[in-house]
Structure 1
Amino acid sequence: MPVYLAVRGKIFDVTPGRNFYGPGGPYQNFAGRDASRGLACGSFDPEMLTEDLNGPLDKLEDLGGEEMEALRGWEERFNEKYLVVGKLVPVGHAEAEPDEKAS
């Protein structure tokens, strides 16, 4: 099974880093979630992670400059190491709807 996580709206395939992000890995709590807030704040606390991706997305509006800078650094590292496989959008957004032409 592939291992995905989201950072600033980008969904990354972190399967090559399964030993870090997969079951039993030190960052396993980020898998399958929007990890942006946790990475920005340097926190593994469950309340830092978006549990319900069917709910509203975390807009990160309350983060400070240092936290946003840290998050940009993480995003840069993920962009260098992992493939972007999708975009995290709110439920009901036009991009979230199935493409009828693909049927």
Structure 2
Amino acid sequence: MADTELRQRKPQGDDDKPAKKPSAARSKSKADDDDYPPWLDILRVLSFIFVASCGLSYVISGGESFFWGMKNKPNYLRADWWKAQMSGPAYLTLEELSAFDGRDPAKPLYLAINGTIYDVSNGRRMYGPGGSYSVFAGCDAARAYVTGCFAEDRTADMRGVEDMFLPLDDPETDAHWTATEMEKLRAEELEAARDRVHRALTHWVDFFANSKKYHRVGYVKRDKDWLEKLPRRELCAQAQNGRKKRRINEDD
């Protein structure tokens, strides 16, 4: 081994390794990024917003429109609704209220019941011109809600409505009671009839007051003696025809 020179291999370090060349795929990806137009992302975002807007319009309008063109917009999309919220309650005379009967599409649709005015624009199909309940628009027809005489009783005058719940007098039947008993019975019948009128009207008053579809906008402005100025109304034919003869209870 004296004549043989031992050669030790020197391990190659990192400096001795040849530099790695970027792969063709990585180079291509970088080139694609440089050439990617930014407007394409903007176009995608705008397309998504457009489709989402159309879908939201379709849902909110109940299938009426994809482009927010529905005739009966929800309250929060109506300028007059926001105006009413910020301006406070309106006080309208019956003459002023009549201008909001739905014939002018530029105005909201109002009705009143028992002196309180509600915006029923969301129910234009029912309360607007040609609708099944159009007689209630632009007026306070509290009486009609109880009597069912829509055309005849477009008034808030409730005097005499209790008669529709009173039995008809019949001499043959009424002879079953003495005069004193009959007087007491009629007083009880009148009290019960007035209670029925009150409950019938309250039902509709509560319906509008608790409605999520319609909202209160104000009150009817009247003179203090408005009721005394009106002639007393006769009970409408429909309500009158619904009255029955007094019945004799088995316990009597």
TM-score under structure 1 normalisation? 0.72
Choose which of 139, 144, 150 in structure 2 pairs with 1:33. 139
Instruction: Return the match for 2:161 from 57, 60, 63.
Output: 63
CA apart distance, 1:61: 3.3
**Rg larger for:** 2
1:77 to 207, 218, 236: 207
TM-score of the superposed pair, with normalisation by structure 2: 0.31
User: Where do 1:1-103 residues align within 5 Å?
Assistant: 1-45=107-151, 47-50=152-155, 58-64=156-162, 65=194, 66-81=196-211, 82-91=214-223
Q: Which sits farther off after the overlay, 3-12 or 65-74?
A: 65-74
Asked whether the equivalents of residues 40 and 68 of structure 1 are also in contact (C-alpha less than 8 Å), the reply is no
Inter-partner Cα distance in structure 2 for 1:21 and 1:69: 23
Alpha-carbon shift at residue 25 of structure 1 (Å) = 0.7
CA contact (8 A) 2:161 2:197 kept: yes
Is the 2:143–2:157 Cα contact (8 Å) retained in structure 1? no
Question: How far, CA to CA, are the matches of 1:63 and 1:40 in structure 2?
Answer: 8
Q: Work out the number of aligned pairs and report it.
A: 85
Measured in 2, the distance between the counterparts of 1:62 and 1:89 equals 23
Structure 1 residues not aligned, in runs of 5+: 51-57, 94-103
In the TM superposition, residue 67 of structure 1 has moved relative to its aligned partner by: 2.4
User: 1:76, CA displacement in angstroms?
Assistant: 0.6
Q: Which has the higher contact order (CA 8 A, sep 6+)?
A: 1
C-alpha contact (below 8 Å) 1:39/1:74 kept by paired residues: yes
Distance 1:92 1:63 in 2: 21
Q: Distance in 2 between matches of 1:9 and 1:92?
A: 13
The CA distance in 1 between the partners of 2:224 and 2:113, in whole Å, is: 20
Shift of 1:41: 1.2
The letter of the residue matching 1:76 is D
Higher strand share: 1
SS state at 2:197 partner? helix
The letter of the residue matching 1:61 is R
Q: What is the aligned partner in structure 2 of residue 100 from structure 1?
A: none
Relative to its length, the structure with more helix (as a share) is 2
Output the amino acid matched with 1:63. V
Deviation per residue, 1:35-75 (Å, 9 max, x gap):
20101212212x3013xxxxxxx442333222221111011
Displacement of 1:21 after TM fit? 0.5
Structure 1 pair 8–92 and aligned structure 2 pair: CA distance change class (3 A) = closer
Percent identity of paired positions between Structure 1 and Structure 2: 39
CA RMSD of aligned residues (A): 2.0
